[in-house]
Structure 1
Amino acid sequence: MQIEKRIHKCSHLTPVENEIAHYILSHKDEVINYSIQELSEQIHVSKSAIHRFCKKIDFKGFNELKIQLTNDISADIYKEHDIDINYPFTLQDNPIEIATKLLELYEKTIQDTLSCLDKQKLVHATKLMSKATSIDIYTHAHNMNIAKNFQDKMLTIGKMVNCPESFYEQRLHALASNKNHIALILSYSAKASFILPILQKLNEKNTPCILVSGYQNNPFPQYICEHLGMSNCEELQDRIVQYSSHIALQYVMDILFGCIYNQDRSTNKKYVLNAMDYMDDRKL
């Protein structure tokens, strides 16, 4: 994961550590050639403070940070000629060129989303969802398609998922929720108007809430027990459609299903096989 993303994900940096972070991000080309002693002298902080900063953003030490910084510089150079996330193809592109550019967009979105995901958060979210008596998904608009796709996948292993569509239905589900439910909030920006009233009611009901959104987009951390971040390079309005955010959210939900399936793989596989004759009546 890029250093800038690691820093954004770390919410408990001290003022000194924020100063170190700012200097590193502002002087990447110089820092890759520094020793820890030279960096210490440049920003007038102790070597131990730099070492603590490296540990806090999940590096073993300063040398490992420099290796990642070198990779980040290479990625920045590549991005200068990279595909436009918001307008990935032009008027002059033929159908195959459009297809090729969208393939590149999808690959980069998935790679970026993978770099945003945290193993422990995925494990925790999976455990919460696996033990819940009901999984309720709160989302709207185009994200509802992804919610229903997840619902369909879960039904193939006998797991019930609710996808209330209207605001009215969502509020009814929130009122009926309890500590044995788990709520999934799907929103790229996490700014949709329906979110806060739902979170507040679910909080009253002691329902654990998992937010799936852009990796920096968690405006209500007091109500969220786990935040699964995804690629958020796409603009909220200045774009053709939701190409990148759609594929990122679909990827995260497919990962969650895979993790839940593996929680009890043998039982789930048996359920699918036993259901096959009933569900598939084709004469094959």
Structure 2
Amino acid sequence: MLIRERMESTSFSSSERTIVEFILEQKEKIRDMTTKEIAAATFTSPSTLIRIAHKMNYQGWAELKEAFLKEEDYLSSHFCDIDANIPFSQEDSCYTIASKLLTLKKEALDDTFKLIDHVALHYAIRMLDQADFISVFGVSNNGLIIQEFKHNMRRIGKMVEIVNLQGELVYTAGSLPPNSCAVIVSYSGETPVYHNILDVLKENQIPVLGITSIGDNTVSKGSDIVLRLCTREKLYSKIGTFCTDASIEYLLDVLYAGVFALHYEKNYRNKTESSARIEKGRFSNVQLMKEENGP
């Protein structure tokens, strides 16, 4: 749930509600306003802002204000000229559709990059590197997107399994060996089975990386580390999951590249040697694609 949505649904007193409505109306304009100025504009007191922050589970007004403005900055940036849910119309030519999807994918990647918390990313990469076994949970088409991540990680010697059958999710979570870690990929973060999975993982002291949308949800609240996905698409009313898929693929590529870079020379050697063995006999007549020692 977004901060603005929590503000709208939380129970406040009349004076608190007055300030909340002022904040939701003014949005980014409160950036340079002090508590005294907001209180004066709403005929309330500065202490009321502190009470609002506490009801929203923040330590103080400064923390709530920073989080609110960060969320508003994100929601008001990018995707001004294209609808992530309906990026093209039936009148568009094939070339126009191609152009619009290109723009959409670029926006999604830029969006995702700006959401990356470099501290969270650092710890996520370290967690994956130190784990002997990585279990990635993703249902529906997320389970298909994760396949490339599994393929890349296994090429550098990391044991990765994908769990996408809902009947197996909780069982797998409860049977992970010691020194494992879990990655949960969920756009909404509210797939019902994840409640049970997170409880089991926590009970077994398995660290969890959550890859999910912005705002509070089951996955983000239950994970040890969280990376955020581009959050522009509705759950159902859309032509396709173009933005979400691009965002997931990008973050998984970043994680793989990060783990690769920690042991660069070793991983590069293993990757190229294993690929040469597996793809023996593969060739190309295009000079640009030819290997130095190949045919």
- Tell me if TM exceeds 0.5: yes
Partner of 1:223: 222
**Following the alignment from structure 1 to structure 2, what is the Cα–Cα distance between the partners of residues 31 and 90?**
38
Q: TM-score, normalised by structure 1?
A: 0.77
- Amino acid paired to 1:45: P
Identical pairs, percent: 23
Q: Could you give the per-residue CA deviations for residues 4-37 of structure 1, whole angstroms, max 9, x where no partner exists?
A: x8999xxxxxx99999886455225755786898
**Following the alignment from structure 2 to structure 1, what is the Cα–Cα distance between the partners of residues 276 and 78?**
50
- In structure 2, relative to structure 1, the CA distance for the partners of 1:254 and 1:20 (3 Å cut) is farther
**Following the alignment from structure 2 to structure 1, what is the Cα–Cα distance between the partners of residues 230 and 163?**
26
2:154 pairs with 1:136: no
Secondary structure at 1:126's aligned position in 2?
Answer: helix
- Amino acid paired to 2:90: L
- In structure 2, relative to structure 1, the CA distance for the partners of 1:128 and 1:20 (3 Å cut) is farther
**Following the alignment from structure 2 to structure 1, what is the Cα–Cα distance between the partners of residues 96 and 250?**
24
CA contact (8 A) 1:183 1:209 kept: yes
- Amino acid paired to 2:266: T
- Amino acid paired to 2:121: L
**Following the alignment from structure 2 to structure 1, what is the Cα–Cα distance between the partners of residues 160 and 29?**
52
Partner of 1:279: 278
Larger CA Rg, structure 1 vs 2: 2
CA contact (8 A) 2:112 2:230 kept: yes
Partner of 1:234: 233
Q: What does 1:107-186 align with in structure 2 at a 5 Å threshold?
A: 107-186=106-185
- In structure 2, relative to structure 1, the CA distance for the partners of 1:36 and 1:169 (3 Å cut) is closer
Q: What does 1:172-211 align with in structure 2 at a 5 Å threshold?
A: 172-211=171-210
- In structure 2, relative to structure 1, the CA distance for the partners of 1:217 and 1:56 (3 Å cut) is closer
Point out where structure 1 has 5 or more consecutive residues left out of the alignment: 9-14, 60-64
Partner of 1:264: 263
Partner of 1:12: none
CA contact (8 A) 2:108 2:230 kept: yes
How much does 1:276 deviate?
3.4
Moved more, 35-44 or 177-186: 35-44
**Following the alignment from structure 2 to structure 1, what is the Cα–Cα distance between the partners of residues 77 and 228?**
25
- Amino acid paired to 1:137: V
**Following the alignment from structure 1 to structure 2, what is the Cα–Cα distance between the partners of residues 113 and 19?**
34
How much does 1:280 deviate?
2.2
CA contact (8 A) 2:115 2:228 kept: yes
How much does 1:201 deviate?
1.9
How much does 1:166 deviate?
2.0
**Following the alignment from structure 1 to structure 2, what is the Cα–Cα distance between the partners of residues 160 and 29?**
46
Point out where structure 2 has 5 or more consecutive residues left out of the alignment: 6-11, 51-59, 284-293
**Following the alignment from structure 2 to structure 1, what is the Cα–Cα distance between the partners of residues 64 and 77?**
27
Secondary structure at 2:163's aligned position in 1?
Answer: coil
2:248 pairs with 1:245: no
- Amino acid paired to 2:138: T
Partner of 2:53: none
CA contact (8 A) 2:78 2:107 kept: no
CA contact (8 A) 1:216 1:229 kept: no
Q: What does 1:90-109 align with in structure 2 at a 5 Å threshold?
A: 90-109=89-108
CA contact (8 A) 2:186 2:219 kept: no
Q: How many residues align structurally?
A: 263
How much does 1:84 deviate?
1.0
How much does 1:58 deviate?
6.2
**Following the alignment from structure 1 to structure 2, what is the Cα–Cα distance between the partners of residues 35 and 203?**
41
**Following the alignment from structure 2 to structure 1, what is the Cα–Cα distance between the partners of residues 91 and 30?**
42
- In structure 2, relative to structure 1, the CA distance for the partners of 1:32 and 1:201 (3 Å cut) is closer
- Amino acid paired to 2:277: Y
CA contact (8 A) 1:218 1:227 kept: no
2:74 pairs with 1:87: no
Q: Could you give the per-residue CA deviations for residues 24-52 of structure 1, whole angstroms, max 9, x where no partner exists?
A: 55225755786898557535539xx8xx8
